[in-house]
Structure formats: C-alpha cells, structure tokens
A and B are shown apart, each in its own frame.
Chain A
Amino acid sequence: MASTAVLEAAGAARRPRYGSMSRDRKWALRWSYFFLIVFAIFFLTPPVYMFITSLKTSHEISAATNPWWVYHPTLSNYIELLTSPMFLTFFKNSAVVSVCVVIITMLISVPAAFALSRMRFWGSAVLATGVFLTYLVPETLLFLPLFKMFATFHDLTGFSLLNQWWVLLILYPTLTVPFCTWIMIGYFASIPKELDEAALMDGANYRQMLIRIFIPVALPGLIAATIFAFTVSWAQFLYPLAFTTSVDQLVLPVGIITTLVKADVYNWGQIMTGALLGAAPPLIIYAFLMDYYIAGLTAGATKG
C-alpha cells in the first residue's frame, strides 16, 4: 500500500516535467543555431564584401556610396582578369605548382608513414616524432636560411635557384611532407594489425600490402592529406614572395599583390576579383572530394 502511494506521488510530481529531455535538446539546438549563425555572419562577411566590390567599377568604389550595395553592377573586372595573359600565367603557375606539390608530397609521405607506422625498425618511433616536430618550426623562420642556402649554392655552382617557379616544388614539400606524413601515420595506425598479418599470410610483400590494402583502407586519410597539401601550396604567400620575382614566374597570391597594387594605387575591383577567382579551385576540390571522404571505411574489417 505504502509503496503504491509513494509511486503515485512521484508520478504526480514528475508529470509536469514529462518530456524534459526533448526540451533540453530543444534549448541546446537553439543555442547551437544562435552561435552557428553568429559565426557564419562573421566568416561570410569578408567574401560577400569581396564579391560586392568585384562587381563595381573603380569609379563606383572610390565614390562615397553605400559600400554594401552595387548600383551599377558590371562584370568588367572579371572580363579584364580572365582575358589578361598575365593573370592566366599566375593561375597556371599556381595550378602546376600545387598539383605537382600534392603528387610529390604523397609519393614521399605515404611510403614514409607506412614505414614509420608498420615496419618497426630501430628508431622508427623517434623518427615519427621527429617528423612531426619539423612541422612545428614556423615557415617564417625557415625562409631566411633557405634563401642563404640558395645563395651559397649559386656561389658554388653558378646555378641560380632564385626566381624559378619550379623551385617552389622543392620548397613547399618542406611544409607539406611532415604534416601529411603525420596524418597518414595516424590513419595507418588505426588499421588493425591483423589486416597486415592476413595479407602477409596471403602472400603479400610490403609493397603489395601498402598499395592493395593500406592505401584503399586509409583513403579518407589520404584525401585529408591531399586537401591539406593542396591548400598549403595554393595559398602559400611568403615563399613565392621571397623566392620568385619575375612576372612570368609568379603564383596567384603574389601575382595579384605585385601587379594590381602599383605604388599606392590599389586596383580594388580587380584585387577582389582575383582573390575570389583564386579561392574557387580549393572550394571546388573540397566539394568534389568530400563526397569520397567517407569516414569509417574500415567498418567490417574486424569485430565491432
């Protein structure tokens, strides 16, 4: 009797709070949306401003009108840039450098990560940490000694490495290889050890194990590393600014700054247009690769 009474009392007390879980969730969602919208506004304002400016003539930009509205929209900035051989050269240089850097980075970091995570040789753990530590050294510290090294190389051999776009193919991997190796070590380490052993028992050697098992299974990691390497080399500003000077050797970010800013004359419309056009390829690549970025590809390999 007593216990029934207690139960009923508890039930009555609880009834108004029925569904409190979903109410909590509702509030959590409201707060998430609030902050997401704040962040979205914060981060989308610059590109929107760039887009608005890119549709204006120089005259309208310098006129004191509402900067957030276009009164006489025009595509002249786009047409001018896309028909300018110089801008197309920058674009081509950037594209060639980035694609080559991605390929070079992957060719080095994937086998390196495989060796460091799976082949267990003397000193492999120390080396793996060392690879990561090199990434922590800021590039702004590295370009001076690199510059000095190139100068010394020139003194010794008479062969100049400066002002050549392809030198960037040697420079960028110093930034991308350590980080990509580190990412791939992490992904390879998440592949169960039994998978290599099964491949070994099936008669695979290390090369076959890497190409036929590890790379397909770690594909999400490989894509993450690719995106990283591409973004780093596409957006790199300091190294090309320091190491290349001739107009035909420049990559996009440096090209835009050096050719569209003449002394204190800023060609804002074209700068904004160039920046927007330059931001497009990484966005397109993200959108394309994200479809293949399927996490949990290892599901089903082992139990669980």
Chain B
Amino acid sequence: MAQVSLRNVVKRFEEVEAVAGIDLDIADKEFVVLVGPSGCGKSTTLRMIAGLEDISAGDIVVDGAVVNDVPPKDRDMAMVFQNYALYPHMTVYENMSFGLRLKRFPKDEIERRVQEAARILDIKELLDRKPRALSGGQRQRVAMGRAIVRNPKVFLFDEPLSNLDAKLRVQMRTEIKRVHQKVRTTTIYVTHDQVEAMTLADRVVVMNRGRIEQVGAPNDLYHAPATRFVAGFIGSPAMNFIPCRVEKRGEHLYAHLSESVGFQIPPARTARYGPAVGREHILLGLRPEHITEARPNGARHVAEFDVGVEVTEPMGNETMVFFSIGSTEVCARVSPTAGAREGSLLRLAAHLDHMHLIDDASGRVL
C-alpha cells in the first residue's frame, strides 16, 4: 500500500528527451493508467518508477521517501511484462514463489501465498506445469500471480494485454479489474489502448511526446478533454475536427463550418467562447455519436443540416456515415434504420451540448 509521486521527472536518452518533466501524484490503492501513442514516454515512466531505468532529473517519491537511487529489488514493487517474462525452466509454482524464496520466506508462508494467488487467478491446476505448456492467457495469469504473491507496495503493468488476441484481451481486462478490487494495491498500468485505459482506470494519465496532456477520471477525459490531442485520442471512432469561424451576431455566437453549414452556439457557452470570435484556426470538435440522424422532437440545441453521404459502414447496431464539410471528412453515427445510402442525401443533427471549440494553434480546448 503506497502513494507514489513523480516530481518533474525527466529521462534523456543521449540527445532525445523521452520524458520531458512530468508531475504526477498517485494515491494509495489507486488504479492509474498511463496511456498514449507509442514513443510518448509512458513505458519509460513506468520503468523509472520500477527502477529499471535511471532518471535524468527530478524525484520519484514512494510513501514520502525519495527512491531515485534505490535499486529495483528494494523498492518493493512487482511488475507484469508485456511478453510475460516467465522463467522457462521453472514450474508455475516455482515462478510465482521465486521472489519469496529469494527473500527466504518460510516454506508454509510461501505455500499459503501461492495457493491464495492461484485461487484468485483460477490457476490452481496449472501450478506444476512449465510455462511452455501454457496458453498466452494462462501465462499472463501466472505473471500476475507472480506479482500478487509478493504482496508489494505497487503493481506495475507494462502493456500486459498487448500480446493477447482481442477476445482474450477483453476477458483479461475484466480479470485485472477484479483482481484489483480484491487485492487493493496501488497500481500503475501502461497501455496504448484507450479502451483499456478507460475501462480499467480510476484515473487516466494521457501522455504525448514525453509530457502529460491531461489527468482525469475516464468520463472527465471523454466529456471535457483539455487538449486537441486528448479529444482525438480518447474515444473511438475519433472525434471530428472541423475548421470553423465564430461570429457574434447580437447576443448570440454563431459557428460557420462552411458556406452552407452553420449554427448558433448554445447560449450557455457564449461567455466561454467569446475569445474565439473572429479568430483564425478554430476547430469545432464533435464526436461521431453526437452527430445523428435528425429526429422529430429532438433534444435542445440541435442543429440540423443536409449532407451527401459518401461512405457508409454498417456495424449492425449502428451505421457509420462519412461525408464532407468543406474539405474535412466527418463521421456520424446513425441508426441503421435511418436509411443512409452511399450517394444519397441525409438530414443529420449535431448535438451542440457536446461540442468543443479548439484553438488549433495552441492545441487547447477553449
């Protein structure tokens, strides 16, 4: 059980700054997910917390003590690796008990802990097998078991599900969440998969180019992204970004997307979007699920407009519709009964309560 804090942590590989000074406080028992595209520094950050990578500047603090120069074996953290990293010559039991045996725990204590972890992970019948006789999902469970038996201060997960097939990944995701609910240990989890981040995390840390873009609860990131990067990274399919011009007419603000498409911005946001009036490089951000087919007696603040459908992607429960506004391709999610056909005209409704305005120059969401 531990709190972990990063204070302006920097990692340089020769000239390249992989982690460019990040600050982060992780509370006791919290499940924090570091997410971002490859090369954003998330794995490096995790490895610095583990002690597998030296830090170039800043401090890593665990339970109030700076651990910058503490070797990994004395940090009392357990790590689950992307490719499992099981010891191939040991049985599952030996793999899981290796850390405890190194620390000279009494035999019956080791036995008790391994059996308990095996029960939690449902791998009791695998204890005598060697790793090569296990499937990918089973190996991943054993790797988790090896972490659990140690009863460490912190769990570190480095893309643990990336090597599993899609179905197993979803299953193991639930498993990890279940284990965390049972074991309640501070957990830091790295992934490039935003769905994994959203589903697992108490708090998500979105990283990009060695910096933290935003930290927040999954729903906060989804509904109130701080930057264009977060807005585009979280959510699938990705948010639409459409260049627009904001004008003030009387009391109201209007957003013009093209010659033909424009609408009034909800009055509640007039004050917030005031600075955008007349500025260049403003983007309207709207998620595909907030552009639907026009419905009679629809919700408030809905702007309807006609588009020429270019491509449709039926998904069964819904249909993705692609069309152009100006030179920008836009995606909408409509009901399969809306009758969207390629080449036809469709009346769509933009739900403006969910809109974002983004300053493209700074990347900030206004």
A170-203 to B contact mask, C-beta < 8 Å, 1/0: 0000000000000000000000101101111111
Which A residues are CB-close (under 8 A) to B79?
197-198, 201
Give A285-301 as 1s and 0s: 1 = Cβ < 8 Å from B's Cβ atoms. 00000000000011111
What string of 1s and 0s marks CB contacts (under 8 Å) between B17-54 and chain A? 00000000000000000000000000000000011100
Known contacts A201-B72, A202-B99, A217-B88; is-contact A303 B134 (Cβ 8 Å) = no
The answer for the CA separation of A199 and B78 in the assembled complex, in Å, is: 10
CB distance from B154 to the nearest CB of A (A): 11
Q: Does A224 contact B (CB under 8 A)?
A: no
Quote the shortest CB–CB distance from B155 to chain A (angstroms).
11
Q: Are B89 and A195 in contact (CB-based, < 8 A)?
A: no
We find that the number of chain A residues with CB closer than 8 angstroms to chain B is 25
CA distance A163 to B147 in the complex (A): 59
For the complex, give the distance between the alpha carbons of A205 and B89 in Å.
19
Q: Is the CB of B72 within 8 A of A200?
A: yes
- Are A202 and B146 touching (Cβ within 8 A)? yes
- Residues in B whose Cβ lies below 8 Å from that of A134: none
Give Cα distance in the complex from A216 to B130, angstroms.
14
Q: Are B103's CB and A213's CB within 8 A? A: no
CB-CB under 8 A for A301 and B133, given A197-B52, A202-B146, A204-B73: no
Measured in the bound complex, the distance between the Cα atoms of B87 and A204 in whole Å is 13
Q: Which residues of B contact A198 (CB under 8 A)?
A: 79, 81, 85-87, 146
Interface residue B16 (Cβ < 8 Å from any Cβ of A): no
Given contacts A201-B77, A203-B103, A204-B102, A300 and B85 within 8 Å (CB-CB): no
Q: At the interface, yes or no: A129 with Cβ under 8 Å from chain B?
A: no
* B98 interface contact, C-beta 8 A: yes
B131 adjacent to chain A (CB < 8 Å): yes
- Given A194-B83, A300-B133: A200 and B88 interface contact (C-beta under 8 Å): no
- Chain B 98-139 against A: per-residue CB contact (8 Å), 1 yes, 0 no? 110011000000000000000000000000001111101001
Q: Does B241 contact A (CB under 8 A)?
A: no
Q: How far in angstroms is the closest Cβ of chain A from B14?
A: 15
A3 in the interface, Cβ–Cβ < 8 Å?
A: no
Contacts of B89 in A (CB 8 A): 216-217, 219, 297
Return A105 CB to nearest CB of chain B, in Å.
23
Residues from 259 to 302 in A contacting B, C-beta threshold 8 Å:
297-302
B88 touches A299 (CB 8 A): yes
Do A194 and B132 contact each other (CB < 8 Å), given the known contacts A203-B103, A208-B102? no
- Chain B residue, CB-CB nearest to A194: B85
Chain B proximity of A300: nearest CB distance (Å) = 3
| CA distance in complex: A194, B98 (Å) | 15
Evaluate whether A299 and B73 lie within 8 angstroms (CB atoms) in the complex, with A197-B79, A202-B150, A208-B102 already known.
Answer: no
Determine if B8 is an interface residue (Cβ-Cβ < 8 Å).
no
A208 to B132, CA, bound (A): 23
Instruction: Write out, one digit per residue, whether chain A residues 111-148 have a CB within 8 A of any chain B CB (1) or not (0).
Output: 00000000000000000000000000000000000000
| In the bound complex, CA of A47 to CA of B77 (Å) | 61
Given contacts A203-B99, A208-B102, A298-B88, contact A303 B73 (CB under 8 A): no
B73:A300 contact, CB within 8 angstroms: no
Query: How far, in angstroms, from A192 to B85 measured CA to CA in the complex?
Result: 8
Give the distance to chain B from A186, nearest Cβ to Cβ, in Å: 18
Known: A197-B85, A198-B87, A204-B102. A299 touches B77 (CB 8 A): no
The answer, yes or no, to whether B163 is at the interface (CB within 8 Å) is yes
Of A197, A202, A298, A301, the contact of B102 (CB 8 Å cutoff): A202
**Max chain A Cβ within 10 angstroms of own Cβ: one of B81, B82, B85, B146:** B85
Q: How far is the CA of A302 from the CA of B83 in the complex (A)?
A: 5
- Closest beta carbon of chain A to B185's beta carbon, Å: 14
B85 & A302 in contact (Cβ 8 Å cutoff)? yes
- The closest CB in chain B to the CB of A195 belongs to B85
Q: Does B84 contact A (CB under 8 A)?
A: yes
Residue in B50, B77, B139, B150 whose CB lies within 8 Å of A300: B139
- A-B complex: 7 closest residue pairs judged by Cβ atoms: A300-B132, A194-B85, A300-B131, A202-B99, A302-B83, A301-B88, A198-B85
Contacts from A to B (Cβ < 8 Å)? 192, 194-195, 197-205, 208, 212-213, 216-217, 219, 297-303
Given contacts A194-B84, A203-B102, 15 further A-B contacts (CB under 8 A): A197-B52, A198-B87, A199-B87, A201-B73, A202-B73, A204-B73, A212-B98, A213-B87, A217-B87, A297-B88, A299-B132, A300-B130, A300-B132, A301-B85, A303-B84
Q: Which residues of B contact A (CB under 8 A)?
A: 50-52, 71-73, 77-79, 81-89, 98-99, 102-103, 130-134, 136, 139, 146, 150, 163
11 contacts between A and B (CB under 8 A): A197-B50, A197-B85, A198-B87, A198-B146, A200-B71, A202-B102, A297-B89, A299-B132, A300-B133, A300-B134, A301-B85
